[in-house]
């Protein structure tokens, strides 16, 4: 399960807009074609995770190790879409790292491209890709607000 990251209340609508934009993009791509219910759900949470339990892909060392790893394994994955291959590379990297250091991370911090088309808030990209938390340990999720949107 993943959540768009923000700490300032002023950015709550930004995270909401990203969630809806990704839902629209995924629905148009057919990701929900077999789902009985295809509505968009936006969940606002507090994630109860200690910093040492977060694998931060924005940390320069982690980022570089991941880039080297991805370059080695990406082309070896066959019969999958580009999106599936990227997900597999992340899963393999995290699994191997956790096994090597003997620790399981509760959450990952990654940057994710905004879907197209997505209306950016600034005329130029000053901040890079939006931050996203991928939660592995669901018990750390505290739901604060839930919003269901019929057609986004």
- Name the band, by pLDDT with cuts 50, 70 and 90, for residue 31: confident
What residues contact 32, with CB distance under 8 A and at least 6 apart?
26, 38
Q: Per mean pLDDT, which range of 8-22, 26-40, 108-122 is the poorest?
A: 108-122
Cα–Cα distance, 1 to 133 (Å, whole number): 8
Res 134 pLDDT > 80: yes
DSSP state of 130: P
Predicted structure pTM score: 0.86
Contact, 53 vs 136, CB < 8 A? no
Contact, 106 vs 136, CB < 8 A? yes
- Residue matched to tokens 């018990």: 139
Model confidence over 62-98: pLDDT tens digits?
Answer: 999 999 999 999 999 999 998 899 999 999 999 999 9
φ, ψ at 38 (rounded to 5°): -110, 15
């Amino acid at each position: 399960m993943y959540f768009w990251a923000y700490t300032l209340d002023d950015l709550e609508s930004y995270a909401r807009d990203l969630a809806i934009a990704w839902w629209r993009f995924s629905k148009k791509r057919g990701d929900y074609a077999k789902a009985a219910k295809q509505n968009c759900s936006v969940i606002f949470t507090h994630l109860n995770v200690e910093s040492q339990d977060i694998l931060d892909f924005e940390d320069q060392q982690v980022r570089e190790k991941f880039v080297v790893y991805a370059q080695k394994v990406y082309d070896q994955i066959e019969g999958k879409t580009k999106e599936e291959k990227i997900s597999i590379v992340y899963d393999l990297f995290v699994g191997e790292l956790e096994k090597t250091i003997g620790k399981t991370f509760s959450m990952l911090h990654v940057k994710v491209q905004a879907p197209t088309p997505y209306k950016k808030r600034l005329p130029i990209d000053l901040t890079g890709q939006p931050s996203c938390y991928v939660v592995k340990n669901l018990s750390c999720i505290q739901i604060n607000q839930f919003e269901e949107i019929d057609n986004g």
